[in-house]
């Protein structure tokens, strides 16, 4: 059975069928994680394991190395943005998310992450712009719907 195209996966994110949306979401994440083949995927997984075991600085060093070696590996930038977010380094996380969405404008995870960072910095206008972009891509994402409501409420 042929794999759905990225365009089809994006369409599926708008479908009423929750299971179809979940499969499309996972397929897009897999595409981004597997962009650089097995080597890139394994290094991302290793960074995730380091994060899960509390070795955040080692995870960042690994991602820094991966980005230096493969600067066009968008998911490496996105993973580092996630780590920066956990450290409340919001400006650095936003910078990395911007690299991701420049390379992959449909990366709903980076748009959502950027929105969360802007919200944490109380820049609700920018948070709304970013979360709306994420919702354009993934309209059923409840966390993003909530974030949009929360940021909008802060402006009123």
What's the CATH number where 84 sits? 1.25.40.10
The per-residue pLDDT for 3 is: 72
Query: Going by C-beta distance under 8 Å and a sequence separation of 6 or more, which residues neighbour residue 33?
Result: 40, 41, 44, 75
Asked if pLDDT for residue 113 goes beyond 80, the answer is yes
Q: Is residue 41 part of a domain?
A: yes
Provide the number of structural domains found in the chain.
1
Distance, C-alpha 148 to centroid of its chain: 17
Q: Is residue 140 part of a domain?
A: yes
The model's pTM is: 0.94
Q: What is the pLDDT of residues 16-41, one digit of tens each?
A: 999 999 999 999 999 999 999 999 99
Q: Is residue 1 part of a domain?
A: no
* Mean pLDDT (whole number) for 141-155: 97
Backbone region of residue 88 per phi and psi (left: phi > 0; alpha: psi in -120 to 50; beta: other values) = left
Query: Domain containing 52: what range?
Result: 6-155
């Amino acid at each position: 059975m042929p794999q759905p195209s990225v365009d089809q996966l994006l369409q599926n994110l708008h479908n009423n069928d929750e299971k179809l949306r979940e499969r499309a979401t996972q397929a897009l994440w897999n595409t981004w994680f597997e962009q650089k083949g097995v080597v890139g995927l394994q290094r991302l997984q290793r960074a995730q394991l380091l994060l899960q075991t509390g070795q955040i600085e080692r995870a960042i060093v690994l991602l820094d190395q991966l980005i230096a070696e493969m600067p066009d590996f968008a998911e490496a930038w996105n993973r580092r943005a996630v780590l920066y977010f956990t450290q409340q380094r919001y400006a650095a996380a936003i910078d990395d998310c911007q690299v991701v969405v420049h390379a992959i404008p449909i990366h709903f995870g980076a748009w959502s992450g950027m929105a969360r960072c802007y919200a944490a910095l109380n820049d609700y206008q920018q948070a709304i712009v970013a979360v709306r972009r994420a919702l354009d891509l993934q309209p059923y994402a409840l966390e993003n719907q909530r974030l949009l409501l929360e940021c909008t409420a802060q402006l009123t």
